[in-house]
Amino acid sequence: MAEQSLSSSPPPAAAGGGGSGGSSSVRPPAVYTIGYAMLPNKHDTFVQPSFIDLAAQHGIRCVAVDASRPLVEQGPFDLVVHKLYGQPWRAQLEAYSVLHPDIPIIDPPANIERILDRLTMLDVVSGLDSVAVPRQVIVHDAGAPLQLVDDDAVLGDLRFPLIAKPVEADGSAASHNLCLVYRREGLRGLRAPLVLQEFVNHGGVLFKVYVVGDHATCVTRSSLPYVPHERLQDLTADAAVPFANISLLAPTTAVGDESAKVPPPQEFVDKVARELGRAVGLHLINFDLIRTMDAQGDAKYLVLDINYCPGYSKMPGFEPVLTEFFLEMLRSRPVRDDRPGPGAGLGVDEARKAEAEPTSVIPSGAEPRQLVQA
């Protein structure tokens, strides 16, 4: 994986500017302009003052795209990064690419869409050697969950407990409404289409791996606790328990959990990140990894979930990692003679002003679904 080589502190020439590491007039002019298109509540995935400042120190200004206006009328941009979904937005990107085939779009909409659906999301993982996915079945038919209560055939050899997950994984609040189902009657009341996935005991600890191009950072988070076998037999307890956003919690400090919290070796994290990133064809993702023990007592890793352009502000040191990634993408793009010079030559203060201007990012024609942090 790429070594982190950018510093998050100002370069010596700007050090006298003092303050928050912010606006120094001695900084070099912006060389590149990145247009970012995302809902305002998603700007903090990485468009934070600390990132804007570091990027500005390295000649990058970030400008919010106004997705209510044609993208082709905006810019010039040297790179576009986006986290908006839906056909109208896709059409905007296509039109832009036709006009500016040399401007990188991070990332291809078709590849993003594949991981917005839990049916297709984990397909790509099935082909990898180093990790597996939990066993699962898809329930398409609206009447099916009820039928499942009496019918063994659909569940096949899946064992309780199961996790019921909505098919859509687009970050909307509804997509995070999951349900831990301890026994058959807990399936009553679930709404199809959904994925029924075997719950895998993993010590209550989740490894969230943030990927930025070739760089991977593993963060330890809380997860669903161990489910003892007796819980499945306890008919006085709830047959199913809904839950949401469990992995946003800090890891539990329960006694005996210490070994479960030891993160996987970095080389392993790098390998999985590299394979997974290539398989999904995306540069900006995170994924949820759990560790369980197989019958031989060896560690086995499973991928549960993949998210596009996640909340990088929760990844320690995200600013230099993202800055370096964008610089690499910008420097390696093909250069054409008929294009206006990179970045339109605005200075850092203009860059910051442009960034602060309020804009709407609702694509015309369709409201993107509201998102919550994945």
Ligand X SMILES: Nc1ncnc2c1ncn2[C@@H]1O[C@H](COP(=O)(O)OP(=O)(O)O)[C@@H](O)[C@H]1O
Q: Which is nearer to Mg ion, 53 or 288 (CB)?
A: 288
Q: Does residue 307 have a known ligand-binding role?
A: yes
Smallest gap from residue 110 Cβ to ligand X (A): 21
Q: Does residue 198 have a known ligand-binding role?
A: yes
Q: Does residue 223 have a known ligand-binding role?
A: yes
Task: Give the one entry of ligand X, Mg ion, none that residue 134 binds, where binding means its C-beta sits below a cut-off of 5 to 8 angstroms depending on kind.
Answer: ligand X
**Applying CB under 5 A, does 170 fall inside the site for Mg ion?**
no
d(CA 225, CA 266) in angstroms, rounded, equals 25
Binding residues for Mg ion, how many (CB under 5 A)? 2
Q: Which residues make Cβ contacts (< 8 Å) with residue 93, sequence separation at least 6? A: 71, 80, 82, 105, 109
Q: Is the peptide bond before 76 cis (omega within 30 degrees of 0)?
A: yes
Q: For residue 88, how many other CB atoms are within 10 A of its CB?
A: 16
Q: For residue 364, how many other CB atoms are within 10 A of its CB?
A: 12
Pairing of strands 284-293, 205-212: antiparallel
Identify the three-state secondary structure at position 163: strand
Q: Which is nearer to ligand X, 197 or 323 (CB)?
A: 197
**Applying CB under 6 A, does 169 fall inside the site for ligand X?**
yes
Smallest gap from residue 173 Cβ to ligand X (A): 10
Please pick, from the candidates 198, 288, 319, 355, the single residue that binds Mg ion as defined by CB under 5 A. 288
Nearest to 74 by CA among 354, 368, 367, 365: 354
Smallest gap from residue 362 Cβ to ligand X (A): 23
Which residues from 19-48 bind ligand X, rule CB under 6 A? Answer: none
Please pick, from the candidates 53, 305, 324, 355, the single residue that binds Mg ion as defined by CB under 5 A. 305
Q: Does residue 288 have a known ligand-binding role?
A: yes
Q: Which is nearer to ligand X, 75 or 310 (CB)?
A: 310
Please pick, from the candidates 165, 183, 291, 352, the single residue that binds ligand X as defined by CB under 6 A. 165
Which residues from 257-296 bind ligand X, rule CB under 6 A? Answer: 288, 290
d(CA 306, CA 117) in angstroms, rounded, equals 10
Nearest to 159 by CA among 196, 191, 214, 131: 196
Q: Which stretch binds Mg ion (CB under 5 A): 64-72, 226-234, 299-307, 350-358?
A: 299-307
**Applying CB under 6 A, does 176 fall inside the site for ligand X?**
yes
The runs of H, that is alpha helices, within 236-317 are 258-261, 266-280
Query: Which residue has 């986006």 as its token pair?
Result: 82
Which residues from 177-236 bind ligand X, rule CB under 6 A? Answer: 178, 197-200, 202, 206, 223-224
**Applying CB under 6 A, does 131 fall inside the site for ligand X?**
no
Q: Does residue 147 have a known ligand-binding role?
A: no
Angle between helices 348-356 and 49-57 (to 10 degrees): 150
The structure tokens listed for 188 are 């009553």
Q: Assess contact for 29 and 55: CB atoms under 8 A.
A: no
Q: For residue 126, how many other CB atoms are within 10 A of its CB?
A: 11
Q: Assess contact for 55 and 326: CB atoms under 8 A.
A: yes
Task: Give the one entry of ligand X, Mg ion, none that residue 199 binds, where binding means its C-beta sits below a cut-off of 5 to 8 angstroms depending on kind.
Answer: ligand X
Smallest gap from residue 107 Cβ to ligand X (A): 19
Q: Assess contact for 272 and 131: CB atoms under 8 A.
A: yes
* Binding site listing for Mg(2+): 288, 305, 307
Residues in contact with Mg ion by the rule CB under 5 A: 288, 305
* Binding site listing for ATP: 118, 165, 197-208, 223
Residues in contact with ligand X by the rule CB under 6 A: 134, 163, 165, 169, 175-176, 178, 197-200, 202, 206, 223-224, 246-247, 288, 290, 304-305, 374
